A = this chain, B = another copy of it.
């Protein structure tokens, strides 16, 4: 079966088609500008792909916050996003109307968690957390094999943590939340250069690991997931992951005495398996559940 997907990100959109086995056949990406322009571009792209591949279903993995309650008048809208021009944009409705097809819909990070569980680093796990550390910090989750929703959806970047310095972070809403302290732009604000220009032995990385570990320990304390997958641009600095694992063990200090943490943490906190395709494949996977 051929499926189409849209990853709607705050900085770029990715449109693509692939198979129900997780193979991407084609992908196109373009910058996120104003809603009308960007959604129009996505529609053009999806129409061209439908002509070529005859895709049968369409999934959308979107930045948020988004309204996932089917009975809500704003179902399918991006709601209180810090990206102001996109607030109250009916992204699902606009795509459905333009394309005449149902759109399966969830957050970019919930979708990525689903894709990693189906085709990536978290295969066959019933309980998965996916965290992206990039322009922002976000997290999605599956518990008992199902995506986590509630009054909203996970917004893991906004949990309060302890700053390891006097820097209180860059989140306009919260002092010392995970995103405000550990995102790429937060590292740049703290150290004055882009994160990727900081050498691996710079103290920034230990501090970054300590911030991320607090978030992961809260996740482990609350959800006890079967596996934690870390993706996003900041995690591309591969020297960071071992520091994060060690910081998680240090912070737990032996309290959660299971072998996944005490002995095999390298198989418990793992890098994303789908790389930059996680969001697109996640959008596609949403049509399969």
Q: Can you sample 29 A-B contacts with CB below 8 Å?
A: A65-B256, A80-B255, A80-B257, A126-B150, A139-B222, A141-B222, A143-B146, A143-B148, A144-B148, A148-B223, A150-B223, A151-B220, A151-B226, A151-B256, A151-B258, A152-B224, A152-B256, A154-B221, A154-B224, A155-B220, A155-B255, A158-B252, A159-B222, A160-B162, A161-B162, A162-B162, A173-B255, A174-B252, A222-B222
Nearest to A158 among chain B residues (CB) is B221
Min CB gap A14→B, angstroms: 25
The answer to whether A257 and B148 have CB atoms under 8 Å apart is no
The CA of A65 and the CA of B220, in the complex, are separated in Å by 14
- The stretch that binds B, out of A53-61, A183-191, A211-219, A279-287, is A211-219
Docked-complex contact A257 and B65, CB < 8 angstroms: yes
How far is B80's CA from A254's CA once the two chains are assembled, in angstroms?
Answer: 9
* Distance from A125 Cβ to chain B, minimum over Cβ atoms (Å): 9
A249 in the interface (beta carbon within 8 A): no
Q: A256, B155: Cβ atoms under 8 Å?
A: yes
- Whether, in the assembled complex, A79 has its beta carbon less than 8 Å from a beta carbon of chain B, the answer is yes
CB distance from A60 to the nearest CB of B (A): 19
Interface string of A3-45 (1 = CB under 8 A from B): 0000000000000000000000000000000000000000000
Chain A 243-271: CB-based contact to B (< 8 A → 1; otherwise 0): 00000000111111110110000001000
Q: How far is the CB of A215 from chain B (nearest CB, A)?
A: 9
B221 and A159 contact, CB distance less than 8 A: yes
Evaluate contact between A223 and B154: CB separation under 8 angstroms.
Answer: yes
**A239 — which chain B residues lie within 8 A by C-beta?**
none
- CB proximity of A123 to chain B, nearest CB, Å: 16
